[in-house]
């Protein structure tokens, strides 16, 4: 499995627009084959800083996501709103319940 964390930042004037675009992206992405979990959250101590937490079955599923039209649309809409972005992909096992 792959765990992806992606951070995006925007100014306060763009928070609502970014949150709305992310909600549309998340709803579409959760329907993708190979998507195990897909959520985004706004940092309560740093308004305008969001993190996407994604869990994917394998690299093929993640690559398909990168090519998905709804991700391209999110990038088109969000790019002018962002002041920063970065992410990391981790290979993980099935994990265990705590």
The string of DSSP codes covering the chain is -EEEEEEEEE-GGGHHHHHHHHHHHHHHHTTSTTEEEEEEEE-SSSTTEEEEEEEESSHHHHHHHHT-HHHHHHHHHHGGGEEEEEEEEEE-------
> Is residue 40's pLDDT more than 90?
yes
- Angle (deg, nearest 10), helices 15-29 and 69-78: 170
> Is residue 39's pLDDT more than 90?
yes
What per-residue confidence (pLDDT) applies to 25? 98
48-58 average pLDDT score: 97
**Cβ-Cβ contacts under 8 Å for 19 (sequence gap 6 or more):** 42, 50
**Top-tier CATH class for 2-45+69-88:** alpha beta
What per-residue confidence (pLDDT) applies to 74? 97
């Amino acid at each position: 499995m792959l765990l992806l964390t992606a951070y995006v930042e925007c100014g306060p004037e763009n928070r609502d627009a970014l949150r709305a675009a992310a909600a549309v992206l998340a709803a579409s992405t959760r329907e993708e084959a190979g998507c195990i979990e897909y959520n985004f959250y706004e940092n309560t101590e740093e308004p305008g800083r969001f993190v996407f937490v994604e869990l994917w079955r394998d690299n093929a599923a993640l690559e398909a996501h990168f090519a998905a039209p709804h991700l391209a649309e999110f990038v088109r809409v969000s790019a002018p709103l962002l002041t920063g972005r970065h992410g990391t992909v981790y290979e993980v096992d099935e994990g265990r319940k705590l």
